A = this chain, B = another copy of it.
């Protein structure tokens, strides 16, 4: 896959892709930590460069969950919408089909094509510690 584009298959690239596959949602720093457990010498710079490369190749995507760093996940997995609890930070996933009516409406009425894999909804999750009463 890399080779077919004249790119090189290195140990680092394999480890980084494996880490993204394994971690599910991971920031560059989390990927770095995971890779380092196997290969201590890998530099954070390489993480950034490789994530960008893998994204260009369509193997991973990133989403912005809350503040700070983006999180990467593999494209092979089922697309999903993220639910981010702004209280405890937990990230849950939802089937994008739930949004079908909404995205269809936006496409029809505005010509806006929603990239459902990038969607993150903020709010408060159902845990007792986080739950709030709302009007």
- Interface residues in chain A, defined as those with a beta carbon under 8 Å from any beta carbon in chain B: 64, 66-67, 70, 83, 85-86, 92, 94, 98-99, 101-102, 105-106, 110-115, 118-126, 131-132, 134
Which one, B113, B118, B122, contacts A114 given CB within 8 A? Answer: B122
A115–B126 contact, CB under 8 A? no
Residue among B86, B106, B118, B131 making CB contact with A94, cutoff 8 Å: B106
B98 near A111 (CB under 8 angstroms)? no
Give the most central of A66, A119, A123, A126: most B CB within 10 Å: A123
Contact: B126 with A122, CB < 8 Å?
Answer: no
User: Which residues of B are found within 8 Å of A134, using beta-carbon distances?
Assistant: 113
Contact of A111 with B125 at beta-carbon distance under 8 Å, contacts A94-B106, A106-B83 already known: yes
Complex alpha-carbon distance, A68 and B102, angstroms: 27
A113-B123, A113-B134 given; name 17 further pairs at CB < 8 Å.
A64-B66, A83-B106, A83-B112, A92-B110, A94-B106, A98-B102, A98-B105, A110-B125, A112-B121, A112-B125, A113-B132, A114-B122, A114-B123, A115-B122, A115-B123, A118-B121, A120-B120
